């Protein structure tokens, strides 16, 4: 158990819908990262927040957005969902902005 929590564990929804994924970092960690992993693929970096501020963006679609709240938990919002958005979404946290990242258990999103 890495100490990073993610909810929900599974999410099934329809095309065109909007969902919110939630992540709570390890105690004391200020950074939260979001990754997308499609079936049997690598980890694609989406976005990084540090202490409430956006620090870096990767290949994140305009339909996706994220934020980190004052209590340091983070939410990833996915809208106008498409079949291709079906994937595992992982959140990771680290103490600083360049430290080791510890991954949460992930949210499996299925878009039907």
Q: Which residues in this chain contact another protein in the complex, by CB under 8 A?
A: 2, 33, 41-45, 48, 56, 58, 88, 90, 97-98, 100-106, 108
DSSP strand E in 1-112: where? Answer: 5-7, 10-13, 19-24, 31-37, 44-50, 53-57, 64-68, 74-78, 87-94, 102-103, 107-111
* Residue 17 C-beta: closest distance to another protein, Å: 23
Of residues 19 and 47, the one with the C-beta less far from another protein: 47
Q: Residue 76's beta-bridge partner residues?
A: 21, 66
* Residue 100 C-beta: closest distance to another protein, Å: 6
The rounded radius of gyration (Å) of the Cα atoms in the chain is 13
Of residues 3 and 84, the one with the C-beta less far from another protein: 3
* Residue 16 C-beta: closest distance to another protein, Å: 27
């Amino acid at each position: 158990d890495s100490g990073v929590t993610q909810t929900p564990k599974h999410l099934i929804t329809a095309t065109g819908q909007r969902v919110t994924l939630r992540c709570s970092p390890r105690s004391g960690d200020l950074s939260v990262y979001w990754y997308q992993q499609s079936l049997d693929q690598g980890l694609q970096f989406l976005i990084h927040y540090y202490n409430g501020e956006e620090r870096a963006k990767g290949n994140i679609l305009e339909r996706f957005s994220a934020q980190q709240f004052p209590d340091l938990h983070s939410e990833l919002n996915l809208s106008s969902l498409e079949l291709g958005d079906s994937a595992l979404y992982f959140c990771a946290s680290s103490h600083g902005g360049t430290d080791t990242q510890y991954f949460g258990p992930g949210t499996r999103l299925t878009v039907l």
